[in-house]
């Protein structure tokens, strides 16, 4: 019965996306929900400070080497005074948040509502749960100055290539990306170098990407770009907007 219920939920969502344009009232309500979610996210995350976002699978357990490496990234991100941002769930996300949280740094997350309910991990000072993947992805990128891509599945690949596309098109520039896990990511790097050989991307598009198995090397790569690209204006809460910097 439980599986049947999940299939039913998936089918309903799929039908909504395959129906095409619906009534004007429905489309207006949908647009309002998206707008409201973005405004709520901005209010929730506005004072979290400059971030480094760690992407990765929700499926790695505490005893896995990738979990431990993500935890170390969170610790090192805290050490340089940045907030660790993740997707807010378990696995790699929990590990990175935990590393920052236990090291006394700032830890934040953008969780997502799923049919099987992804619970947020307990190692965050600030978080928000999103209804839409695309608004969540926007916020995961919006406040970050660097990105660590741990091994993951379709969601992680989506986040990786969305970030690479923003860099390629100049929408964001000078933002370093660390691909962590050589054995995992070498085949993907081969594909991207083939793209460069075939002319669909340029080798320059790959210049900001570092493939490594070493957390220190990854942080050194990030720091190299932060020294020249990192600027931020202090943000003060507005009392008339009922803002709270402690958030």
Residue 11 has a CB neighbour count (10 Å cut-off) of 10
pLDDT recorded at residue 15: 58
Q: Given this structure, which CATH class describes domain 23-229?
A: alpha beta
Q: Chain centroid to CA 139: how far?
A: 8
pLDDT band at 4 (very low <50, low <70, confident <90, very high): very low
pLDDT for 228 equals: 77
Beta carbons of 105 and 76 less than 8 angstroms apart: no
Q: Number of H helices and number of E strands within the chain?
A: 8, 7
Q: Give tens-digit pLDDT for 212-237.
A: 999 999 999 999 988 877 776 677 77
Distance of alpha carbon 108 from alpha carbon 128, whole angstroms: 9
Enumerate residues 6+ apart whose C-beta is below 8 A from 87: 55, 58, 93, 109, 110, 111, 112, 136, 140, 155
Q: Is the pLDDT of residue 7 over 50?
A: no
Q: Where are the domains of the chain?
A: 23-229
> What percent of the chain shows pLDDT beyond 90?
66
Question: Tell me, what's the pLDDT at 246?
Answer: 59
What stretches of the chain adopt beta strand conformation (E)? Answer: 51-55, 83-86, 107-112, 126-130, 144-149, 177-180, 209-212
pLDDT tens readout for residues 133-158: 999 999 999 999 999 999 999 999 99
pLDDT of residue 239: 67
For residue 3, is pLDDT > 60?
Answer: no
- Residue 187 reports pLDDT greater than 60: yes
What one-character-per-residue DSSP string does 84-144 give?
Answer: EEE-SSSTHHHHHHHHHHHTT--EEEEEE--TT--PPPS--SEEEEES-HHHHHHHHHHTE
The confidence band for 243, taking pLDDT boundaries of 50, 70 and 90, is confident
- pLDDT tens digit sequence for 85-139: 999 999 999 999 999 999 999 999 999 988 765 688 999 999 999 999 999 999 9
Q: How many CA atoms lie within 13 A of 148 on its CB side?
A: 39
Phi, psi for 89 (deg, rounded to 5): -100, -155
Bridge partners of residue 149, in order along the sequence? 55, 179
Please write the tens of the pLDDT for every residue from 49-95.
899 999 999 999 999 999 999 999 999 999 999 999 999 999 999 99
72 sits in the region (left: phi over 0; alpha: psi -120 to 50; else beta) called alpha
Q: Rounded to two decimals, what is the model's pTM? A: 0.88
More confidently predicted of 240 and 11: 240
């Amino acid at each position: 019965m439980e599986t049947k219920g999940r299939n039913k939920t998936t089918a309903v969502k799929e039908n909504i996306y395959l129906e095409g344009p619906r009534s004007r009232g429905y489309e207006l309500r949908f647009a309002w929900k998206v707008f409201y979610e973005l405004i709520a996210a901005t209010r929730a995350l506005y004072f979290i400070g400059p971030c480094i976002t760690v992407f990765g699978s929700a499926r790695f357990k505490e005893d896995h080497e990738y979990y431990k490496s993500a935890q170390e990234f969170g610790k090192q991100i805290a050490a340089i005074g940045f907030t660790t941002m993740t997707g807010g769930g378990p696995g790699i996300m929990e590990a990175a948040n935990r590393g920052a949280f236990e090291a006394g740094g700032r830890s934040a997350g953008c969780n997502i509502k799923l049919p099987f309910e992804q619970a947020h991990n307990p190692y965050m000072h600030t978080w928000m749960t999103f209804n839409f993947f695309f608004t969540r992805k926007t916020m995961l990128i919006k406040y970050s100055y660097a990105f660590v891509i741990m091994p993951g599945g379709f969601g992680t690949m989506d986040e990786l290539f969305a970030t690479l596309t923003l860099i390629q098109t100049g929408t964001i520039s000078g933002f370093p990306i660390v691909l962590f896990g050589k054995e995992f990511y070498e085949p993907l790097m081969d594909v991207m170098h083939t793209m460069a050989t075939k002319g669909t991307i340029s080798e320059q598009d790959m210049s900001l990407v570092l493939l490594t198995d070493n957390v220190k090397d990854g942080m050194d790569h990030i720091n190299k770009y932060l020294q020249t690209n990192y600027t931020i204006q202090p943000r003060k809460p507005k009392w008339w907007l009922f803002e709270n910097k402690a958030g």
